[in-house]
């Protein structure tokens, strides 16, 4: 037998080492290729929160299967109806949401959570699931985005996805593309076990803590996925990305107490004679005890005081509304015992204080005056109206408190105050055209939603600059619904309660005493002129000098002579203010301004002219000739003066004559909201209309349309 003693040669050892070194290089190359392949996932998430256009992506991004957390925003919703919005089988939604025992057409309560499967793909530069939607009567992009698809898209994103549709006149039966917001997990999230990013619409009073607890994740995970600090304040009707490994059962979520989980499958079973006897005995005992309690209560009951009787209905707030009932002790602590240093402002209905909740969220607490009839009516009006409506340009009511004879309302805090302060009290800064345009567009959008897109038409009845609030980015929010009324659409125009603020009141209201959608349009028109002219609707100082201090008449005269730009705010100047690409606000210090080119100046002049003319269209003395809030909103959404000019209705060359009779003098009294005291410089006036001297002062400030009747 031959034995071979084989020893490795130096060449063989060298080859083995070479192979090992090449293996390391190969592994490194594989890692680099894998990272390059996963790079697109990093761009599809962990992006800024509250993005109106959607989450960015690029053509290399891969699609993914994810989910959305949907809540019903309308009455008469069912699993089948919601599934039809997203073009998916009802059984899929029912199975994901734990509602398999519920009939597909069974009516769901408002706010019912549902899981929606999303096929997330990169369309152009945003991650979304495109869903076709058939335009129905009275539809607008804003209504479709906010009401039908909740917080899962925006009207801005819909405009981008539908460039060929005319937003000014949507045709019934046309098909629009709805971009449902979504995103896919990053490589880091996948490595940490995240399987998908749930698209989640924020509801009132929700915080990162509440949302993360519902889904059994940490606040840090939720904040990182949305580029938010852990103590961030969330805005209602915006979208969050929730990183998840699996979908938790909706029925197990503690913060959704009014959800449907399906009918009971339990059937009655037969009982033994002994159990029936026990049941009968227990029932008789309970009945006897109840009768005894009623007898004692009847004899011990005292007649309720007038104050108790007046306040009893304030406690009857619908428990199904997405509103929180705060404890008075909590709000007193939040406002530092309503310290004067926390006072934000005061008016005829009470005072508003800055407050800090235990979560760190900043709120505005409105303390109503109990002794004022207007204060009680204002409380009732605001709770009734704001609890039913949600829109990104409406101040969100977080909750309320009726305790210890106190009426308190809690709102989101707006750190930049109101539009009136910005126009007339700010110094050292300019209010650029782009920002004025944006503010007016936001208010018009909110007003269109109130008038046209709510289940019931909401008449605001007190639109003015001090009721337009501004957040950190100078986004506009319409607030103060103390005079608002919910009215069925077919009954609009039949209300008889007059209210409002002098200078903003439509002239026909003195004649008819009725608030209408058209009277709100007139008030908005005055607001447009106020913003673009930088002048108060009524200038009492000018009027005392014998000149005409009524802004509407002043702008009409400038239009009639063909020089409407002469009344524009001189602070608009020839400068262009950047809206802050670095994240700064839209306001700029004068020293930072740069001169525009002649072409840009001409563009600005034409846009200013168009917006002033739109204000005059809204201020037409005849209500039937004013544009609708939907048309006004759509016109202001247009970014070029050419598009706006082509789409605007024709403006009369001179101020039209009013086509209604003259009112009596008595109707002039009692028509003004207590907030007029601040506007006109009248102090300590609770009910202006009941004081003859104050009424005389106010009548001297009437526009020509009203003054000629007195």
| Binding site, annotated residues for ATP | 366
φ, ψ for residue 26, nearest 5 deg:
-65, -45
Q: How far is CA 22 from CA 12, 25, 26, 30, 76, in A?
A: 15, 5, 6, 12, 67
d(CA 144, CA 76): 16
How many other C-beta atoms lie within 10 A of the C-beta of residue 134?
Answer: 10
- Determine which helix (DSSP H) or strand (DSSP E) holds 64, and give its type and residue range: strand 64-71
What is the Cα gyration radius of the chain? 31
Cα dihedral 201, 162, 446, 385 in deg (nearest 10): -50
Query: What token pair was written down for 496?
Result: 């008889």
Cβ burial, residue 667 (10 Å; 0-12/13-18/19+): middle
d(CA 135, CA 84): 14
Q: How far is CA 625 from CA 112, 649, 686, in A?
A: 42, 10, 35
Q: How far is CA 367 from CA 149, 328, 339, 352, 360, in A?
A: 35, 11, 12, 6, 21
Can you tell me whether residue 23 is helix, strand or coil? Answer: helix
CA 389 centroid distance within chain: 8
Residues 6+ apart with CB under 8 A from 251: 98, 259, 261
CA atoms within 13 A on the CB side of 349: 23
Strand ranges of the sheet holding 397-403, from the earlier edge strand across to the other edge: 324-325, 397-403, 406-412, 362-368, 350-356, 343-347
Q: Which of 197, 201, 194, 160 is nearest to 182 (CA)?
A: 197
- Determine which helix (DSSP H) or strand (DSSP E) holds 69, and give its type and residue range: strand 64-71
Can you tell me whether residue 510 is helix, strand or coil? Answer: helix
DSSP 321-348: SS-EE--HHHHHHHTTTT-GGGEEEEET
Name the active-site residue from 139, 412, 462, 520.
462
d(CA 444, CA 634): 9
**Is 15 a known active-site residue?**
no
d(CA 579, CA 581): 6
Q: How far is CA 459 from CA 117, 245, 342, 629, 651, in A?
A: 38, 46, 31, 12, 25
d(CA 652, CA 650): 7
**Residue numbering of the annotated binding site:** 366
Token pair 């058209």: residue: 518
Q: How far is CA 182 from CA 115, 123, 628, in A?
A: 13, 11, 34
Query: What token pair was written down for 238?
Result: 């915006």
Check residue 651 and report its DSSP letter. Answer: P
Q: How far is CA 501 from CA 464, 521, 528, in A?
A: 8, 14, 15
CA 650, 651, 656 angle in degrees (round to 5)? 130
Residues 6+ apart with CB under 8 A from 613: 559, 564, 648, 651
Count of helix runs (H) and strand runs (E) in the chain: 24, 21
Q: Which positions are catalytic?
A: 462
């Amino acid at each position: 037998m031959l034995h071979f003693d084989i020893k490795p040669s130096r060449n063989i050892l060298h080859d083995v080492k070479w192979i090992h070194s090449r293996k390391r290089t190969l592994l490194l190359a594989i890692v680099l290729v894998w990272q390059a392949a996963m790079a697109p996932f990093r761009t599809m998430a962990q992006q800024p929160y509250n993005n109106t256009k959607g989450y960015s992506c690029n053509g290399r991004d891969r699609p993914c299967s994810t989910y959305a957390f949907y809540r019903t925003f309308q009455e008469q919703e069912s699993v089948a109806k919601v599934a039809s919005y997203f073009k998916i089988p009802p059984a899929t939604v029912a199975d994901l949401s734990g509602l398999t025992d519920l009939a597909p057409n069974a009516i769901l309560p408002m706010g019912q959570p549902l899981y929606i499967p999303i096929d997330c793909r990169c369309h152009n530069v945003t991650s979304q699931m495109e869903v076709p939607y058939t335009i129905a009567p009275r539809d607008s992009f804003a209504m479709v985005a906010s009401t039908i698809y909740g917080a899962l898209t925006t009207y801005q994103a819909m405009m981008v996805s539908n460039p060929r549709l005319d937003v000014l006149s949507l045709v019934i039966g046309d098909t629009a593309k709805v971009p449902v917001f979504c995103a896919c997990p990053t490589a880091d999230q996948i490595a940490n076990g995240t399987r998908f990013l749930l698209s989640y619409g924020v509801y009132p009073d929700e915080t990162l803590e509440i949302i993360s607890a519902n889904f059994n994740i940490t606040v840090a995970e939720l904040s990182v996925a949305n580029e938010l600090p852990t103590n961030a304040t969330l805005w209602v009707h915006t979208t969050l990305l929730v990183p998840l490994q699996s979908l938790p059962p909706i029925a197990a979520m503690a913060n959704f107490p009014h959800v449907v989980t399906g009918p009971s499958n339990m059937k009655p079973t037969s009982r033994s004679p002994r159990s029936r006897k026990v049941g009968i005995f227990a029932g008789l005992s309970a009945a006897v005890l109840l009768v005894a309690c009623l007898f004692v209560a009847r004899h011990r009951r005292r007649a309720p005081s007038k104050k108790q009787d007046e306040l009893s209905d304030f406690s009857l707030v619908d428990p199904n509304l997405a509103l929180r009932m705060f404890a008075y002790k909590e709000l007193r602590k939040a406002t530092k015992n309503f310290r004067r240093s926390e006072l934000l402002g005061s008016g005829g209905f009470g005072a508003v204080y800055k407050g800090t909740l235990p979560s760190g969220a900043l709120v505005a607490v409105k303390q109503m005056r109990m002794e004022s009839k207007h204060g009680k009516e204002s409380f009732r009006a605001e709770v009734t109206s704001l609890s039913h409506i949600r829109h990104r340009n409406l101040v969100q009511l977080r909750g309320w408190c009726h305790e210890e004879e106190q009426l308190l309302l809690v709102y989101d805090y707006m750190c930049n105050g109101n539009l009136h302060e910005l126009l007339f009290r700010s110094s050292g800064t300019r209010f650029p055209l782009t920002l004025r345009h944006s503010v007016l567009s936001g208010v018009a959008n909110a007003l269109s939603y109130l008038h046209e897109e709510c289940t019931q038409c909401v008449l605001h009845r007190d639109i003015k600059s001090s009721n337009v609030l501004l957040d950190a980015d100078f986004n506009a929010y319409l607030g103060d619904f103390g005079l608002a009324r919910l009215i069925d659409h077919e009954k609009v125009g039949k209300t008889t309660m007059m209210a409002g603020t002098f200078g903003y009141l439509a002239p026909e209201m003195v004649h008819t005493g009725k608030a209408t959608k058209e009277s709100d349009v007139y008030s908005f028109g005055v607001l447009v002129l106020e913003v673009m002219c930088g002048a108060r609707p009524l200038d009492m100082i000018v009027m005392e000098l014998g000149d005409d201090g009524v802004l509407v008449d002043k702008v009409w005269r400038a239009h009639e002579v063909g020089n409407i730009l002469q009344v524009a705010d001189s602070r608009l100047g020839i400068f262009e203010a950047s809206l802050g690409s670095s994240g700064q606000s839209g306001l700029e210090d004068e020293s930072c301004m740069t001169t525009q080119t002649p072409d840009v100046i001409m563009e600005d002049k034409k846009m200013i002219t168009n917006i002033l003319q739109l204000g005059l269209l809204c201020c037409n003395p005849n209500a039937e000739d004013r544009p609708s809030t939907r048309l006004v909103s759509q016109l202001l959404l247009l970014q070029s003066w050419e598009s706006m000019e082509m789409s605007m209705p024709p403006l009369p060359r001179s101020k039209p004559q009013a086509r209604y009779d003259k009112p009596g003098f008595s109707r002039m009294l009692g028509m003004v909201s207590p907030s007029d005291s601040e506007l006109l410089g009248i102090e300590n006036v609770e009910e202006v209309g009941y004081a003859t001297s104050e009424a005389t002062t106010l009548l001297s400030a009437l526009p020509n349309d009203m003054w000629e009747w007195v």
